[in-house]
Structure 1
Amino acid sequence: MRVATWNVNSIRSRQQIVIDWLQQHQVDVLCLQETKVQDHQFPRSPFEDLGYKLYISGQKSYNGVAIFSLKPLEKVSCGFSPIIGDIAADFDEQKRVISGILDGVRIVNLYVPNGSSLGSDKYEYKLSWLELLGQYLQKLQTEKREISVCGDFNIALEDKDIYTAKNREKHIMSSPVEREALNKVLALGFQDVFRKFNPEEGHFSWWDYRAGGFIRNRGWRIDHHYLTDKLYQQAIKCWIDPEPRKLEKPSDHTPVILEF
C-alpha cells in the first residue's frame, strides 16, 4: 500500500498539479491538508474520474483535510469529538482531523496548527491541540488495529530536519516545548518511518515562498508519517518527492510517500 501526505495550500489553486501527480504516481491513498474550501465547493469530479473515493472535511479559506482512496474507507471520522467526546468540540471548529480504516489499518490525516509565534495565543492553542491529539490516538488504539498517522505537523522534530539549527529553540515549529509535546504523543507507540530509511540530514518537505527558500534549499521537514510497530516493521520505503515544488505556482509543501 502506498500512502502519500501533501499540504496543497488550496486544492482549487493546485488542482491540476495534484491531478497530474496522481496520474504519474497512482498512490492508494492521498492525504491532503490545507484544502481551504467548504465541502460543497470541493472539486470532486476530477479526482473521482481518476478512480478515487473522496472523504473531506473543509471550511472556507482556511485549514481543511481530505483523504482520497482507491478503495472505500470504513468508519470515517472527522475531528476529535467523535472519538474523544465533547471535550474537543471547540477545537473541531477548525477542520484539521480526518481518519478512516482501509484493509484493517486506521489511517489518520492531520493538519497540526502552526502556532504563529512563541508565547502567543495560537502557540498555546497548538500545545493544547497536541495534548488532545494524544488522547485521540490513545482512544483509537483501543480498536486493537495498526495505525498510520500522517500530515503536516508544523514541527521539525530534530535539528537535522531544518536547513540550519541556528536559533531553532526560539523559532516556531522547532521550540523545545513543541518538540516535547509531539514526542509525548509519539511515545504512545508511534515511530517516524521516514528516518528508518533516511537517517541523514538534508531532507525537507517545506520551503518558504520568501527569500528564495526552495532555490536555496532553505527547507524544513515538517510533513511526517508515523506508524505503530507492526506497520513500521512492514514499511518498505518512505521518500519525499520534490518535483511538484519545482512547478509554476506550487504549494510550499511537497508530497511525502510511504510504502508498506
Structure 2
Amino acid sequence: MKIATWNVNSLKVRLPQVLDWLAAQRPDVLCLQETKLADGQFPVAAIEAAGYHVAFSGQSTYNGVATLARLPLHDVETELGNGEDPQRRLLAATVNGVRVVNVYVPNGQAVGSDKYAYKLQWLARLRDYLGEALRRHERLVLLGDFNIAPDDRDVYDPAGLAGQVLLSDAERAALREILDLGLTDAFRLRHTEDGLYSWWDYRAFMFRRKLGLRIDLILASPAMAAACLDCAIDVEPRRHERPSDHAPVWASFEP
C-alpha cells in the first residue's frame, strides 16, 4: 500500500501536475493540503476520471485538505472532535482498513504571535484527537504538512534559523508529544542523514541552492511502522514550471 502526502499550494493551479503524478506514481492514497478551494469548486470529475475516490474539506483562498484513494473512503471526519474550527485543516478517513489522518498544521507566522499561539493550541487538540483515534485504530497513518522541522537534520541552516517559527523549541516539543503517542517518523526508518528536504522557499533560488526544510511528514502507528517498506521524497515535481513549494512524500507498506 503506497500512501503519499503533498501540499499543492492551490489545487486549481496544480491540478494538471497532480493528475500527472497520480498517473506516474499510482499511489493507493494521496493526501493533499492547501487546496484553497471551496467545496463547490473541487474538481471531483477530474479526480474520479483518474481512477480515485475523493473526500475533501475546503475553503476559498486558504487552507483546505483532500484525500484521494483507489478504494472507497469510509468514516470521514473533518473536525478535531472537540469543537468546530473554521479553518479546514484535517480530514480523516479509513481506506482498506487503514485510518488515514490528513493534516495541514498552521504555519504560526512568527514566534510569540497570535497565530503561533493558535498553532500550539491546534497541535494540542490534534494530540488529544490522535490519542483517541489510536485507541480505535491499530493501523493508522498521520501525514501532511506539519510546518515543523522535527530536528536539526531537517533544516538547511539550523544555527542561523534557531528559535524561529517552524523549528522553535515549543513547536518541536508539541510534535514530540504527538510522536510519544506511539507514532514513528516513517522517513527516518529509511533515511538518517541530513540535507533531505520537502519544502523550499520560492525566493532566492532556494530549491536550486538545496536550501530547504523537511516539514512534510508521514507518521505511522506501531503496526504500520512495522509494515513500512520504504519512504522517500519525490523532488521531481519541484522542478516543474509553476511548481508547489513542497514536494510529495510517499511511504509504502505491506498489506
TM-score band by shorter chain is: over 0.9
Q: What is the DSSP-based 3-state SS (H/G/I as helix, E as strand, rest coil) of the residue aligned with 2:197?
A: coil
RMSD, matched Cα: 0.9
Unaligned 5+ segments in structure 1 are none
Residue 119 of structure 2 is aligned to residue 126 of structure 1 = yes
Other-structure match for 1:73: 73
Q: What aligned pairs does 1:21-40 form with structure 2 within 5 A after superposition?
A: 21-40=21-40
- Measured in 1, the distance between the counterparts of 2:232 and 2:148 equals 18
Other-structure match for 1:6: 6
Q: Which runs of 4+ in 1 moved over 3 A?
A: none
Q: What is the DSSP-based 3-state SS (H/G/I as helix, E as strand, rest coil) of the residue aligned with 1:12?
A: helix
* Residue 144 of structure 1: how far off its partner (Å): 4.0
Selected match of 1:238 from 210, 231, 239: 231
CA deviation map 1:50-101 (0-9, x unaligned): 11001000001000000000000111111213xxx3xx32xx2100000111
Paired residue total: 253
Q: What is the DSSP-based 3-state SS (H/G/I as helix, E as strand, rest coil) of the residue aligned with 1:236?
A: strand
Q: What aligned pairs does 1:52-91 form with structure 2 within 5 A after superposition?
A: 52-81=52-81, 85=82, 88-89=83-84
Residue 162 of structure 2 is aligned to residue 162 of structure 1 = no
Identity of aligned residues (%): 45
* Residue 169 of structure 1: how far off its partner (Å): 2.8
Q: What is the DSSP-based 3-state SS (H/G/I as helix, E as strand, rest coil) of the residue aligned with 2:12?
A: coil
| 1:168/1:175 contact within 8 Å kept | no
| 1:104/1:145 contact within 8 Å kept | no
Q: What is the DSSP-based 3-state SS (H/G/I as helix, E as strand, rest coil) of the residue aligned with 1:68?
A: strand
Other-structure match for 1:41: 41
Residue 130 of structure 2 is aligned to residue 143 of structure 1 = no
Q: What is the DSSP-based 3-state SS (H/G/I as helix, E as strand, rest coil) of the residue aligned with 1:135?
A: helix
| 2:3/2:30 contact within 8 Å kept | yes
Q: What aligned pairs does 1:135-214 form with structure 2 within 5 A after superposition?
A: 135-214=128-207
- Measured in 2, the distance between the counterparts of 1:193 and 1:122 equals 28
- Measured in 2, the distance between the counterparts of 1:175 and 1:190 equals 21
Aligned-partner residue type, residue 96 of structure 2: D
Other-structure match for 1:19: 19
CA deviation map 1:139-185 (0-9, x unaligned): 11221422100000000010010111123332110001110011011
Task: Between 189-198 and 41-50, report the one with greater CA deviation.
Answer: 41-50
Selected match of 1:227 from 220, 233, 240: 220
- Measured in 2, the distance between the counterparts of 1:189 and 1:25 equals 29
Unaligned 5+ segments in structure 2 are none
Q: What is the DSSP-based 3-state SS (H/G/I as helix, E as strand, rest coil) of the residue aligned with 2:165?
A: coil
- Measured in 1, the distance between the counterparts of 2:218 and 2:103 equals 10
Q: What is the DSSP-based 3-state SS (H/G/I as helix, E as strand, rest coil) of the residue aligned with 2:16?
A: helix
